[in-house]
Chain A
Amino acid sequence: MKPMYVMALASLLYLPAKAQTFMTRNGKVNFYSKTPLEDIKAENRQVVAAIDLGKKTVALTLLQKNFLFEKQLMQDHYNENYVESDKFPKAQFTGTITGNVGTSPGTYKVQISGNLTLHGVTKPVNAPAELEVADGKVTGKADFKVKPSDFDIKIPALVKDKIASEITVQVLAACTALSK
């Protein structure tokens, strides 16, 4: 009798895991640097993001070169001098969701903690996030701050006043259920 019980339980675990994975290829990540001298903002609309409500995990991958800046020169400098996109083309985040999140439609305030890898450096990141669950869709929103210095991104003294020491990052990923 006992093995049957285990098997049933295992099946239960297995089944929901299939329907609770959501993914998008058009997630959005923005970042802002505000200083009295210059405001810099960039947007990446080709972020690949996945949310697994069953395992309560999230993952995010983006290409640095897909960040679009208002000024081409800023974009060139970002890729060439700061994040070195040729050497480190991707930035990645993998993390877990803590807090109550259900499968029924609604908005859930959660905490996300995980590791952010960019410029070849991995650092832990924690951020409050909002998960909006709808039919076959989960939209994740999060704001957090990163310090370029934490990721070994050196800013020369000459432009130090133009780049904020803390950069605000905004994530918006509208993921749809994976059908298999």
Chain B
Amino acid sequence: MQRRIIQTIFLLLVCTRMMAQDSSLMKMMDDAVAESQQGQVVTGTFKATQIVNLPTVESPGKKSLQFMIMHRFGKLNGGAYELFGLDNASIRFALDYGITDRFSVGLGRSSVDKTFDGSLKYKLLQQKQTGMPVSVSLYGLITNYTQRYTDKPYLDARYRTAYTTQVIIAKKFTPAFSFEVVPSWIHYNLTPTPEDKNDLFAVSAGGRLKFTKRMSINAEYNYLARNQVVSTKVYDAISGGIDIETGGHVFQLVFTNASGMVGPYYLAKTDGSWGKGDIYFGFNITRNFNFKK
């Protein structure tokens, strides 16, 4: 009888040891996976490189070229005579190229003021599963407008140039919801009147909410600190839209009160008011081309 008990206990011990070993192996595997998960960079904070006009932390990957068409029709309050703005249009073409996965350069041309722009974007910090809570990208943009003004012969290239610097701080809170805050500093080499400030400051906030895997609702608010632009009445640019992603394309259907599509224009020259119905319907289309192998 006693032997029986010893035997049973021994067998039990052996069995539990074996089971313990098995589960510890599974635990080891889980730990190893969890460990590598911790340092993992959070990706897909936004689908596109801009919410509507406001840049996001995203940039084209290494050796990938993004072609973008930004298009805004005229104001909705133009009424039936203007076919609710569809008779008019302004457009910006842009090419952005990823030199590395974190650094991209861009060139663009807007029809508003016949403006050329060049830009740099650098992903300074990337949000991680644990640790780094936010992604931070730096965005620098130089604009030069080439619209001819026969009455202003003094306008040389230097006077026509403006600089926009933005720090984009973004967080992907859930797989569906991302939000970003963007302080901006705009410097005009020449302002319309001496009363207008050469250095302007703005703070923007924007976000996206995915409602299917490939579609999201986006909105952005660009707050321009008051009393900086005094010669003309300007409004904060408020824009909203829907992203639709189809393979290599992202379509963005947007409504905005800003006709300009680059920093100095939408941040500080938005003359449309949502309240008065100065709303532009438009779209952004991006297409990616790859040069890797």
Q: Which of B43, B60, B292, B293 has the largest number of chain A CB atoms within 10 A?
A: B43
Other-chain contact of A72, B11, B21, B101 (Cβ < 8 Å): B101
Other-chain contact of A73, B4, B10, B36, B248 (Cβ < 8 Å): B248
Residue of A nearest to B212 (CB): A81
CA distance A110 to B112 in the complex (A): 69
The number of chain A residues with a CB under 8 A from chain B is 43
Q: What is the distance, in angstroms, from B176's C-beta to the closest C-beta of chain A?
A: 9
The number of chain B residues with a CB under 8 A from chain A is 41
Q: What is the distance, in angstroms, from A179's C-beta to the closest C-beta of chain B?
A: 12
A135: CB under 8 A from chain B?
A: no
Contacts of B174 in A (CB 8 A): 86
Other-chain contact of A63, B10, B33, B245 (Cβ < 8 Å): B33
Contacts of B62 in A (CB 8 A): 72
B227: CB under 8 A from chain A?
A: no
Contacts of B288 in A (CB 8 A): 73
Residue of A nearest to B6 (CB): A3
Contact A7–B214 (Cβ < 8 Å): no
Residue of B nearest to A18 (CB): B21
B150: CB under 8 A from chain A?
A: no
Contacts of B247 in A (CB 8 A): 77, 156, 158-159, 162
Contact with A along B1-31 (1 / 0, CB 8 A): 0011011001100100110011001101110
B44: CB under 8 A from chain A?
A: yes
Contact B33–A62 (Cβ < 8 Å): yes
Contact B25–A3 (Cβ < 8 Å): no
Contact with A along B182-196 (1 / 0, CB 8 A): 000000000000000
A48 with B32, Cβ < 8 A, contacts A73-B288, A76-B44, A81-B213 known: yes
Contact A71–B292 (Cβ < 8 Å): yes
A65: CB under 8 A from chain B?
A: yes
B232: CB under 8 A from chain A?
A: no
Contact B7–A3 (Cβ < 8 Å): yes
Contact A66–B36 (Cβ < 8 Å): yes
Contact A48–B29 (Cβ < 8 Å): yes
Q: What is the distance, in angstroms, from A122's C-beta to the closest C-beta of chain B?
A: 16
Contacts of B43 in A (CB 8 A): 65, 75-76, 79-80
A33: CB under 8 A from chain B?
A: no
Q: Which residues of B contact A (CB under 8 A)?
A: 3-4, 6-7, 10-11, 14, 17-18, 21-22, 25-26, 28-30, 32-33, 36-37, 40, 43-44, 60-62, 64, 98, 101, 174-175, 213-214, 245-248, 288, 290, 292-293
Question: Told that A23-B25, A63-B40, A156-B214 touch, could you supply 10 new A-B pairs with CB distance under 8 A?
Answer: A6-B11, A7-B7, A10-B10, A14-B18, A17-B21, A63-B36, A73-B248, A156-B247, A159-B246, A178-B25
